[in-house]
Structure 1
């Protein structure tokens, strides 16, 4: 067995401390986030009482890209995963760096927007000053991310448990509520509306791709990564379908569409109680999204530092904590500034467009990699990345067309 060279020994390394459970919880937490707490009404506006079907269909649309990520993560288990995939599959260093920076930008902007929204939920329940609360909460999350990945993902897992608890309460409330007239006598299924709802619901599944950027801190990544990606997608799809079912069963579609907090409305209508507990759980969901995105973006920046001399300063791991300290600090600073200064309205659409473009390139990269090296420890049929590429292009065109 060859001994590592002096240069390899000198390379900064991250600590492998993450197992399947924490990685799956991280993936579920990133996908669930705060979005599902407001997205159900928008999907119901398109699909009506068939909103649960739209969410299931969206999960099926996301599945091919998730499978492509699963195979690529076993072939190249490293931080800045998408950049590595694109460079190898499409043989373009410039394009790989562009993809990596796009992922950093999307994660950072998303974290800033979610931090701002989460603080808004918090201050609506507890009378606190917005500016100071944003700074304190944001700085606390940056500190957790700096201390260690195990600590970060443990905190994220706690937030994820609270998120899932909130969704479970909504499902229970919807199950026990008196069914609406629409639910008891549903109209004939309108596939055009269901398809439009599925395109919108697809964005609630964005997040599984973040898992691959944790690869250098995962135990046995070749086995753990694909399992975590697929488990995260299955768990999230089941939760989304059940939540949407509970919502349209308990509350008329028009009321869901008109509400800015549709799941809190489901709880209030079904139980007759205050919606404050659901608002606090939405805060936990937001904080989870912020922490997960900061952890992901800093790992991508760390990985890009290995690939680009201009970003080499970020390829440094703290000797004690084993975290990319400069990358995390830089991402955290931008998140705080963005949460205080950036307009939130258009950020979600921009983030989704960036990530769908990345999905197109990643699926194309897997097609190229499979042609170069067919064998791998985890393989999917060639049709999977082809379908993933087509679905991502179609969703991107629909998104851009809708925003035109």
Structure 2
């Protein structure tokens, strides 16, 4: 058992961080680029898609409370990530932190768990992205057959001569007194748009991290502008039509309907567990630590700065959206566009759709970047096959890892419904946060003398609260999601004992893998 908990020495990790040459990752990102990466990941599906979903299914306008609760949990975990990423500036994020503090078995578990966070996260985002692509296409008369426009099980109905996604037109049908069951129906089979979207983002990542960061920074500026327009136009509409707020915000927190998570405060807790997915971007910043120019200063700024900015925006957008549209009709993949439609500003709805496309695109970039960098680190340690750590000689990116991850994620996003993807990503993220918080606490006790460019405040209160809040949010998720987590981790342990343990460079007493 002791061998399973063998730690990777900090000297070996820091040696990898200081490697240079054409076979290493290129340090080209400053604090501005890292904050943009964080915003690029955070402001995506959470604000453009899940805001409506959580309001409709769990909390009503009280989705704002869910955002605040999730943000509080993120602050504690964010401090711990900032300490680790400044201290251990390598690409593996929580995986590497776990290896240095809790041992190889925990490192493997967290690395395998990060697949849930980043791969399922990118798939979730792309599922929402495809909804906005299809919606925008319909505005210009472009439509795909229903079988290629949705995941298996998604329902399309024939309405006004066109096949429409049921979630998008259900409110209109009810208001018109039309029973959607009476309309012709077809079902999705394979989301072609989502598959193509992931592969396009993968191509950008293969070309280079600096190019990916520049693309992301431009898109971040666009989507911040779009959100500002949504808040200004929506706020102006509400000022002139205050009756919309009175109707749609009553009750602000719908009463529980007899089951845990079915509105009420338990619905806020469950909604926070689901919407926690909206915040995972700040920890994805830590996967770029080995590509930061000055990680000691830049990483804490990137992680905490992006978290603060996005929390404020989430609260404001949640308030305006639920005031414009009754929460019962917000279970849509393009909720913000529908909210803008309610203002009557035609160009505004079009702008939101374009901004959402850009926003979700940048989120996919950061999620896929994070996943490929985790595989890169695990491969260098011998826990995954060596081709995952192969660096492209021209682009200086882990290109095989990026392409492999892209293909898997593209398949996920094409075949698995949005809600299931979001729940799996959230529980994976929360487990990662628990291990990172525990790792900071352990390392403070074990090696208090180590230099820490950034120190998480209020020790040990900060990691303890990070663990408790994260576990509480996990507890609010459906039991089926827990079952899927345990099955996923069991599959990972089979791979670890069948392959990884036998090839682990730490177990074999070898130093860092030479660049290739």
Q: TM-score range by the shorter chain?
A: 0.7 to 0.9
Q: CA separation in 2, counterparts of 1:387 and 1:11?
A: 42
Q: Any conservation in 2 of the 1:179–1:250 contact (CA below 8 Å)?
A: no
In structure 2, relative to structure 1, the CA distance for the partners of 1:385 and 1:284 (3 Å cut) is same
1:377 aligns with 2:453: yes
2:28 corresponds to? 17
Q: 8 Å contact 1:173–1:246 — kept in the other structure?
A: no
C-alpha distance in 1, partners of 2:418/2:318?
Answer: 25
Counterparts of 1:135 and 1:28, CA distance in 2: 24
CA distance in 2 between partners of 1:345 and 1:266 (Å): 20
Q: Answer yes or no: is the 8 Å Cα contact 1:73–1:212 preserved in 2.
A: yes
When the two structures are superposed, what TM-score results if normalisation uses the length of structure 2?
Answer: 0.70
Aligned-partner Cα distance in 1 for 2:270–2:113: 26
Residues 173 and 266, structure 1, Cα contact 8 Å, conserved in 2: no
Deviations 1:120-153 (A, max 9, x none): 4213322265576555543332221011101011
Give the superposition deviation at 1:243: 0.7
> Secondary structure of 2:25's partner?
coil
In the alignment, what sits opposite 1:203? Answer: 277
**2:117–2:429: 8 Å Cα contact kept in structure 1?**
yes
Asked if 1:279 corresponds to 2:353, the answer is: yes
Contact 2:74/2:466 (<8 A) preserved:
yes
Contact 2:122 2:367 in 1 (8 A): yes
Q: Secondary structure at the match of 2:396?
A: coil
2:342 to 254, 263, 269: 269
Q: Distance in 1 between matches of 2:215 and 2:322?
A: 32
In structure 2, distance between residues paired with 1:339 and 1:296: 17
| 1:162-192 residue CA offsets vs partner (Å, 9 max, x unmatched) | 3222221221122101223554986687882
Give the deviation of 1:39 after TM superposition: 2.4
2:465 is matched with which residue? 387
Cα distance, 1:252–1:309 mapped onto 2, change above 3 Å: closer
Report how far residue 116 of structure 1 moved.
3.9
TM-score, normalised with respect to structure 1: 0.88
Matched, 1:106 2:169: no
For residues 344 and 43 of structure 1, what CA distance do their matches in structure 2 show? 12
Q: Please list the CA deviations of residues 40-89 of structure 1 after superposition, one character each: whole Å capped at 9, or x if unmatched.
A: 23444554444434423321221101111111111211111211111222
Q: 1:79 aligns with which of 87, 91, 94?
A: 91
User: Does structure 1 residue 89 correspond to structure 2 residue 101?
Assistant: yes
Unpaired runs of at least 5, structure 1: none
Q: Which has the higher helix share?
A: 1
Q: Deviations over 1:14-52 (max 9, x none)?
A: 100001111111111111112312222344455444443
- Name stretches of at least 5 consecutive residues in structure 2 with no aligned partner: 1-14, 149-190, 256-263, 483-516
Q: 1:326 aligns with which of 400, 403, 416?
A: 400
Of 136, 142, 156, the match for 1:125: 136
Match of 1:52 in 2: 64
2:128 and 2:333 in contact (8 A); partners too? no
Q: Give 2:295's match in structure 1, choosing from 221, 226, 246.
A: 221
For 1:44 and 1:309, locate their aligned partners in 2 and report how far apart those are by CA, in whole Å.
41
Aligned counterpart in structure 1 of residue 370 of structure 2, from 296, 314, 338: 296
Which moves more between the two structures, 380-389 or 394-403?
A: 394-403
Mapped partners of 2:412, 2:277: distance in 1: 22
- Summarize the Cα distance change of 1:30–1:310 in structure 2 as closer, same or farther, 3 Å threshold: closer
2: distance between equivalents of 1:40 and 1:81? 27
- Shift of the alpha carbon at 1:261? 3.4
Aligned twin of 2:187 = none
Compute the displacement of 1:111 (Å): 2.1
Cα distance in structure 2, aligned partners of 1:393 and 1:98:
17
The 2-side partners of 1:188 and 1:400 are apart by: 24
The size of the alignment, in residue pairs, is 398
Equivalent position to 1:368, from 427, 442, 461: 442
CA distance in structure 2 between the aligned counterparts of 1:278 and 1:401, rounded to whole angstroms: 35
1:68 corresponds to which residue? 80
Q: Following the alignment from structure 1 to structure 2, what is the Cα–Cα distance between the partners of residues 377 and 69? A: 13
Q: Helix, strand or coil: the match of 1:271? A: coil
In the TM superposition, what are the counterparts of 1:312-323 in structure 2 within 5 Å? 312-323=386-397
Decide whether the 8 Å contact of 2:375 with 2:384 is kept in 1. no
Q: Considering only aligned residues, what root-mean-square deviation do their CA atoms show, in Å?
A: 2.9
Q: Secondary structure at the match of 1:278?
A: helix
State the secondary structure of the residue aligned to 1:298.
helix
